[in-house]
Homo-oligomer: A and B are copies of this chain.
Amino acid sequence: MEENAPSGRRSGWKQDPAAVQADILRAATEEFARNGLDGARISDIAERTRTTKRMIFYYFQDKQTLYRRVLEEAYRKIRAEEAELNLGALPPLQALRRLVEFTFDHHRRSEPFIRLVMIENIHAARHLRDSDLIARVNDSAIERIRDICTRGQATGEIRPDITPLELHWMISALCFFNVSNRPTFGTNFGDELFTEQAQARLRERVADMVVAAARA
């Protein structure tokens, strides 16, 4: 009686549209992250799939729409991962440090997402702006910091003249750049900062910087 969830187990079935779409989205994410919107080839995406080029246009109208869906999905996934972090139990400055460290690690593990954001910035966030789905997915990121701030400012541990948005900007800048600009930075100045040890050290330096910026 109860119908299976669309992409659930359908053993015996020959068709599973939801799975096909998910498969396309996965392949497209890889391809767009690797080569950008213009650089990506639909036929290459198709080859990474268990289906054909035809189906890509069947489920997603055109290249731009597919790209937008990829972007939406990537944001959704990343924010969901971030949401798992529970900082409410920690004292404000410790929570902040933990958030920075987590973000540093998380960004390093999320190169495809970082690259999609880079690509979107090259395109002046045109497609991001077109997407209504994303709009309020990001608020949670700020809310998490706002909570830290209000708690910390109540106890006097955090200076009153800093905003959650500024803190988020700092954290993002340092953690994002570390992944996004590794190629040119490494080429220009060597890869010394990208060994495991150097990265661990950098991680603490970044945490120190942000905490120091917030401390009263």
Contacts and interface: CB of A to CB of B under 8 A. Distances in A.
Interface of A: 35-39, 115, 117-125, 128-129, 134, 138, 142, 162, 165-166, 168-170, 172-174, 176-178, 180-190, 192-193, 202, 205, 208-210, 212-213
Nearest to A38: B38
Contacts of A124: 183
A39 B210 CA distance: 37
A41 to B, nearest CB: 10
Given A38-B36, A115-B122, A212-B209, A172 B193 contact: no
A121 B184 contact: yes
B120 A122 contact: no
A134 B172 CA distance: 29
A199 to B, nearest CB: 11
A115 B166 CA distance: 23
A207 B125 CA distance: 28
27 contacts: A36-B39, A117-B181, A118-B118, A119-B122, A121-B180, A123-B183, A125-B184, A128-B183, A128-B184, A128-B187, A134-B188, A138-B188, A165-B192, A165-B193, A166-B193, A166-B202, A166-B205, A169-B185, A169-B202, A170-B174, A170-B205, A173-B177, A173-B181, A176-B177, A205-B213, A208-B213, A212-B212
Contacts of A165: 189-190, 192-193
Nearest to A181: B121
